[in-house]
Structure 1
Amino acid sequence: MQDIKVDEALWASSMLPEGILERWFIASGETVRAGERIAEVRIEDALHEIVAPANGRATIVATVNAVIEPGSVLATLDDSLRPG
């Protein structure tokens, strides 16, 4: 199990200490693949895609329009699932 977090580097050129979770491209409980686009966050006027770090089943913990900060947990990923 691992956390899917907002990369702190997204704030490198930002004056604001927070952003907004704009939308999810997946539903909670959905199986995702590493590198798949799963969410979008807005920091100032820029939109940033969040991708799955590994294959697994994602459980969403942050809601759309939630205020997020660097390192915020957006979802958890059960990456222990193995193809049968």
Structure 2
Amino acid sequence: MQNTNIFDFLGVETDLIYQKIAALKTGDVFQADNIIVRLEKYYEIESDYEHELFYNAMSCYQYLSDLLVKRGGNNGEQKTQESKSKALA
């Protein structure tokens, strides 16, 4: 079962994480909760345990969002938003 979050209703374009990913230019990098996100030829997500490539910002966002939710636990929407906020801090 897939988790639902507030951005499913408001639109992911309002999520700060999606905005950061969508604003990346070639060579740009940011880090969220020890996960490196960069744009070279493709969007990349890299951590100690994985290195994934994505063709577009939306796919990258969905994967990163799921990772952050898993790392933050599955205690509902509040926990999800707290995890995302902490990741960008």
TM-score, normalisation: structure 2: 0.28
Ranked by relative contact order (alpha carbons within 8 Å, sequence separation 6 or more), the top structure is 1
Query: Which structure shows the higher helix fraction?
Result: 2
Larger strand percent: 1
Question: TM-score, normalised to structure 1's length?
Answer: 0.29
